[in-house]
Amino acid sequence: MRILVTGAAGFLGSHLCDRLLSDGHQVIGMDNFITGRPGNLEHLAANPNFTFIRHDVSNFIFVPGKLDAVMHFASPASPNKESPFGYPNLPIQTMKAGALGTHNTLGVAKANGARYLLASTSEIYGDPAINPQPETYWGNVNPIGPRSMYDEAKRFAEALVTAYHDFHKVDTRIVRIFNTYGTRMRLDDGRVIPNFIEQALNHNPLTVYGDGAQTRSFCYVDDLIDGIVRLLQSDETRPVNIGNPIEMSILELAQTINRICGSPAGIIMKPTLQLGNDPKRRQPDISRAREVLGWEPKVSLEEGIKAVLPYFKEQLNLL
């Protein structure tokens, strides 16, 4: 297949490009480097099956030649307002990537008769009233809250994809991505696993906000990408949760990372961050992924954290 991947220089987008190329596909990567990094794609520069186009997906997209699939991954994704790469500091760009970017990439898929896959998110469930979250749950989202630029952009994107599927008969897929970690994450994007690992490797106390009882479910990047590729190749047009169903508290995560990193500095508790609407629980129901994709994660949190430590040590110049 010849596949367009937007957000190709990002954490997930670059791993997706690697997987698609290793499967024998031709890949056209697209990114404007607002949050993605050129270094994530440097290793592909000499690959004859990879082409890169620097472009903002909120503008009209033209890709020469026939495309067989379009995979839309372009969007800021960190909720941290302290990070310049967090979507609270890029609200307009985030909304445009979700709205205009989805519209433009759907147009490319329609023009090519190509299969389309949208990278949606568990954030469409908001602060969920049920746990775990199945795809049939409509969510609990504040449309004007401090996270709304991301949550509502993705909810609109899902609605637009559905409209193109129903009205224009575009062959669409929607993946709802839950918390994922791995190499190529930014140390400065404010997400919890890079934060904790950086603190632990520097033997600083890990900062836990509130009582640490809020939960997340962490999926290793290779597992996630495998689920996404399986969804692209499947006939499933309904949204599909891809994530690790093992739920753990942030306090438990901090204790685990301290132990794996051998940090003696412990944990410091601080008042809850004032971002607002922070989900208290996050756990995917992956019954649909198991049933229609034959997929479930294989890498344990302990294995995954150990696998990414060399990358983070390199980023911190600790090797």
Active site residues: 150
Q: Based on C-alpha coordinates, what's the Rg of the chain?
A: 19
Three-state DSSP class for 133? strand
Cα separation, 200 vs 265, whole angstroms: 8
Assigned token pair, 282: 């996050």
215-216 vs 172-177, strand pairing mode: unpaired
CA separation for the pair 20, 254 (Å, rounded): 33
> How many Å apart are CA 95 and CA 93, to the nearest integer?
6
**DSSP β-ladder status, 2-6 and 69-72:** parallel
The total number of residues written for the chain in this structure? 319
Interatomic CA distance for residues 19 and 77, integer angstroms: 21
Query: What does the buried/exposed string (b/e) look like for 36-53 if buried means 16 or more CB atoms within 10 Å of the residue's CB?
Result: bbeebbeebeeeeebbbb
Using an 8 Å Cβ cutoff, are 170 and 116 in contact? yes
Cα 185 from Cα 194, distance rounded (Å): 7
Where do the H-state alpha helices sit in the chain?
A: 11-22, 91-98, 100-112, 148-167, 192-201, 221-233, 250-261, 287-288, 301-315
Rounded Cα distance, 7 and 56, in Å? 9
